[in-house]
Amino acid sequence: MSGRTVIGEGSRPRLPRGVRLKHDAARGQWVILAPERMFVLDDTAVEIMKAVDGEADVAAIVAGLAARFQAPRPVILADVVKLLQDFADKGVVRA
Amino acid sequence: MSAPAPPLALLAEVTHRCPLGCPYCSNPVELVRRSGEMETAAWLSLLEEAARMGVLQVHFSGGEPTARHDLEDMVAKAEAVGLYSNLITSGVLLDRRRLESLAARGLQHVQLSFQGVEPDGADHIAGFEGGHARKLACARLVTDLGLPLTVNAVMHRGNLDRLDDMIALAVELGAQRLEVAHVQYYGWALRNRARLLPTVGQLDAATATVEAARRRLTGVLVIDYVIPDYYARRPKACMGGWGRRFVNVSPEGRVLPCHAAETIPGLRFERVGERPLAEIWADGEAFERFRGTDWMPDPCKSCDRREVDWGGCRCQALAIAGRADVTDPACELSPDHRLMAAIAAADAGIESGEFVYRRLGDAGG
């Protein structure tokens, strides 16, 4: 049995097998498709999840978003960690 | 009223054939035989239509979907048209070669049912010797291949006291999700209700067990758990609401709002190919009959939860109250709610009796 994934700045998040980020054209939204569940993403979550590529660590994801949206890094960091930890606890993100 | 949003998921019940004989099977009592099953090409074009109209996920179910040898073609088609494919299986027909082949074609997830935690009890209720051992082997194959696994634990009076062991088994097998699936009393299960309905004491203990396990296993195992209707105060939004989230296709290609909808008299169900799927969904008579809130009687009509639970389950209203067009008796506001409580009290108090096992007549072929 594997333990709980805890997300920190050094974590390298990825979508495990069976989890997909998809544009839902019929409803004009982005969704995460996971085993027998689906999550509709808000605008912030879409940008974060598009940056989750299994390569970038959380610090790099935060730096990228802070630069693109000209937002304070601590605010972005808090958003990113909160979202990814929530998804990790739902089995949707691994690190 | 504007056109309804497309369904999120297609439940493809590709066959009713199954080697197991579970007395709580959710299939209708009138099972479709192999000769009546829709052929491969029609399933493949159905998947194309579903994706085109905005369906996101397909659940391959049955019966036992792996009894069909063209399941690989269906999974490959789902992948090709961008549908997330989920296999709902008993696992007893799956060997490594078959599972590898399905995974290679794009299968995303496996939901594997368990009837118990130890072979004797599990095999007895499935009416299939050696089934439990095959399921354990199948679970290991799924996780070996790196596919996510959900354990679907079908719970009832005979095994609910072992829920803690079932949770431990799911963790040991490497499942990410556990569905604690209380038997729902339609079809075959309705016939066997007096043997299956848990007592209120069992249920309270199970709820406490789940709550403790959820705290202990955060980030390790997600546990889905819903209080069974017979002990609920408010109904479930069956299928997420009639004609709102799911479209179900039966083995012979009938397009249904839910897998038990054919038990409701007076509804006409169209077949795949009669009209485009999107049209059947949008204005088919069976979908329109109970969609939204216009059909509702009181107490639903004036209830502030009418768009939360959508009146509950039509098939259960029929089974308990004798009419499909009334409030689900699981709701404590229903005038028929006391019938449900009375059944629970009577059935859960029965000590023994024989199961009626699910059978296809000359079975399986």
- Tens digits of per-residue pLDDT, B36-95? 999 999 999 999 999 999 999 999 999 999 999 999 999 999 999 999 999 999 999 999
Banded model confidence at residue B362, pLDDT cuts 50, 70, 90? very low
Q: Do B82 and A31 touch (CB under 8 A)?
A: no
Q: Averaged over B93-119, what is the pLDDT? A: 96
Band the pLDDT of B207: cuts 50, 70, 90: very high
Question: Using CB atoms, which residue from A24, A36, A89 is nearest to B86?
Answer: A36
B53 touches chain A (CB under 8 A): yes
Sign of CA dihedral A70, A74, A78, A84: positive
Give pLDDT tens digits for B303-342.
Answer: 999 999 999 999 999 999 999 999 999 999 999 999 988 8
Where does residue B277 rank: exposed (0-12), middle (13-18), buried (19+ CB within 10 A)? buried
pLDDT of residue B352: 63
Cβ-defined contact of B5 to A27 (cutoff 8 Å) = yes
On chain B, the residues whose CB falls within 8 A of the CB of A39 are none
Q: In this complex, is the C-beta atom of A94 within 8 Å of any C-beta atom belonging to chain B?
A: no
Residue % of chain A over a pLDDT of 70: 98
What DSSP element (H or E) covers A24? strand A20-24
Q: Would the pLDDT of A95 be above 50? A: yes
DSSP state of A16: P
The pLDDT, as a whole number, for residue B188 is 87
Residue type, B217: L
Q: Which amino acid is at B174?
A: G
Confidence tier at B226 by pLDDT (50, 70, 90): confident
Residue from B185, B180, B258, B235 nearest B212 by CA? B180
Distance of CA B34 to the CA centre of its chain: 21
Q: What is the mean pLDDT of residues B20-24?
A: 92
Q: Which residues of B touch A24 (CB under 8 A)?
A: 54, 56
ipTM: 0.89
- DSSP-derived letter for residue A14 is B
Q: To the nearest whole number, what is the mean pLDDT of chain B?
A: 93
When mean pLDDT is compared across B237-241, B258-262, B354-358, the lowest value belongs to B354-358
A24-83 residues touching B, CB cutoff 8 A: 24-27, 31, 33-36, 38
The percentage of chain B sitting over the pLDDT mark of 90, rounded to a whole number, equals: 81
Residue B151 structure tokens: 């354990």
